[in-house]
A and B are shown apart, each in its own frame.
Chain A
Amino acid sequence: GEDVEQSLFLSVREGDSSVINCTYTDSSSTYLYWYKQEPGAGLQLLTYIFSNMDMKQDQRLTVLLNKKDKHLSLRIADTQTGDSAIYFCAESFQGGYQKVTFGIGTKLQVIP
């Protein structure tokens, strides 16, 4: 079955790097995503990685995928106070209607 797990909370100082981790159980996942949710708002896609990739970098964001351990991480370099939000890991499967399953979310708190 589909299950996505994340730690609940992370606190970092402004300027440091943040690393948010996620594990998933379904090895047939095709795409893995990171969404960001600011208070009182909907989710926004930050980045995604295709399952045949190990790493993807996009400006301050680095996504690492370890398929063997079914582990996904999001690294935010030079974390800013505007990065304070909840970050959701999610997975979907190519083909079909691509249902996306979300994790519980990790709340990132950036301390000035």
Chain B
Amino acid sequence: QSVLTQSPSASGTPGQRVTISCSGSRSNIGTNTVNWYQQLPGTAPKLLIYTINQRPSGVPDRFSGSKSGTSASLVISGLQSEDEADYYCAAWDDSLTYVIFGGGTKVTVL
């Protein structure tokens, strides 16, 4: 069981808004920044959001991130078919003294 908790799955039709949550604790999300990764089927993970809400160059602005207390969220506004992938949150944990990933959320476009 992951220290960071994500819902295993989420889905929506094209154009819908999808929210993926990542729940942690004070020693990880509560204290440190959160990063999000997208993994398309059969490929390596890709940085999607860094430092809570920053998008790397080339990431569409329909992806956004936020953090409140010990939880973080990734929002896909205007879901597209190419967004079908697994999404992972990640943070440093001060108690464990290493990086932890959420269990991942599989997004399906209906």
Answer whether A and B are interacting partners.
Answer: no
